[in-house]
Amino acid sequence: MIRIHEIFYSLQGESSRIGLPTVFVRLTGCPMRCVYCDTAYAFNGGKSMLLADILLQVASYFPPSSATRYVTVTGGEPLAQKECFTLLNLLCDAGYSVSLETGGAMDIGEVDQRVSVVLDIKTPGSGEVEKNLWSNLQHLKPMDEVKFVLCSRQDYEWAQQVLAERAIAQQCSVLFSPVYNQINPTELAEWILQDKLEVRMQVQLHKILWGETAGK
């Protein structure tokens, strides 16, 4: 059994899979309280589900003829529930292209190697920088992605320093994402270009399409 807040079908709003139709499995609960969190509604509630029932619900969104089927496991913080590791294994076994969105405070060492991990490194502006588990960097694969959600110019400079010190861009793709309505995306783009950073800038497509309250 695992506690699920919601399962839904939408367009992926972030990461290199942006724009792709995807089934999202959102788990309940999170040990962090980032100041910009847009999924606080998932801290509590939801319902306990059998893993087999989750797989059946996920399958219901895809036509049998679908060649590539994308599933994102997210939260909250999905790895806060130990059963998440088994869920990821089963989704991969079922033939899905699986990504995991995790906040960087939980150990990713046991995540199935077939899963594309999107690891969110918390900046000082998040209020949770002390919870970054830096040992996670040693588990990153070329197919994974590291994300920095930036609240300010200070966060940008901090992230730039982390990239230089830890050579993350040599391990996998790096994403810089401005907090919605807090940093002007054009300004962030100009900073990246000026400093010639090896990063991918992203904006949250789902909020452009469906507004600020969209957490999908």
- CB atoms inside a 10 Å sphere around CB 203: 16
Residue identified by tokens 């950073």 is: 197
User: Which domains can be identified in the chain, with CATH numbers?
Assistant: 2-210 (3.20.20.70)
Closest Cα partner for 27 from 69, 87, 70, 96?
87
Tens-digit pLDDT profile for the chain (216 aa)? Answer: 999 999 999 999 999 999 999 999 999 999 999 999 989 999 999 999 999 999 999 999 998 777 779 999 999 999 999 999 999 999 999 999 999 999 999 999 999 999 999 999 999 999 999 999 999 999 999 999 999 999 999 999 999 999 999 999 999 999 999 998 889 999 999 999 999 999 999 998 888 888 765 544
The token duo for 137 is 């960097």
Q: Output the pLDDT for position 213.
A: 56
pTM of the model: 0.93
Ranges assigned E (strand) in the chain: 2-11, 21-27, 47-49, 70-74, 97-102, 116-121, 145-150, 173-178, 200-201
Contact 142, 172 (CB under 8 A): yes
* Distance between CA atoms of residues 5 and 28, nearest Å: 5
Contact 97, 1 (CB under 8 A): no
Percentages of the chain per state (helix, strand, coil), in multiples of 5: 35, 25, 45
* Distance between CA atoms of residues 216 and 204, nearest Å: 10
Q: Output the pLDDT for position 206.
A: 83
Q: Output the pLDDT for position 212.
A: 64
Q: Which are the contacts of 12, defined by CB distance < 8 A and separation ≥ 6?
A: 18, 19, 20, 21, 22, 70, 72, 205
